[in-house]
Amino acid sequence: MAALILFVLLSVTLAHGSCPDQFEEVGTGDCCFYFSNEEDYLATWSESRDYCHELGVILGNTTVDLAEVDTSSSCNSDALMDTIYSKDKGLGFWMGGSDVMAEDTWVWQYSQEILPLSSSRWGSGLPWGGTEENCLAADGYYYDTAQFYDGYCTTRAWFVCQ
């Protein structure tokens, strides 16, 4: 992971447009996201958060974290989910939610807002992993649109930073 972060350190520059290099604008309104699948980089949920934070340090932006949708700090939630759907090839993308502190109380880690179990973004019958699957991912491979699922936090998957 250190070598990949060093590579990003050396290559992150301000690109044309409003997003830093390696980030892409999704939707409108200067909403910039980093998708790790562009470098085919897989990480656990915790490693993913650490990577996003390191990108933020590199960019001088302490608000970079795993992506959130439908929160006061999120940006173009529908456009992000559509992009995840178009990029997913079966591994899913780690997002910034977890229920590790209290089972079935899903909390976005950056904003600390609650992700309701009644959200239409959950896949059918999800979450269902009990106390073992405490980290949030979005998957567009098995659905007609990107949907949330609860996953094992130690699984290596792609991730999205915002």
Residues 6+ apart with CB under 8 A from 103: 130, 131, 134
What's the pTM value of the predicted model, to 2 decimals?
0.88
Q: Whole-angstrom Cα distance, residue 45 to residue 157? A: 8
User: Hey, which residues does 25 pair with through a beta bridge?
Assistant: 32
Give the pLDDT confidence of 88-114 residue by residue, as tens digits. 888 899 999 999 999 999 999 999 999
In the predicted structure, residue 3 carries a pLDDT above the cut 60: no
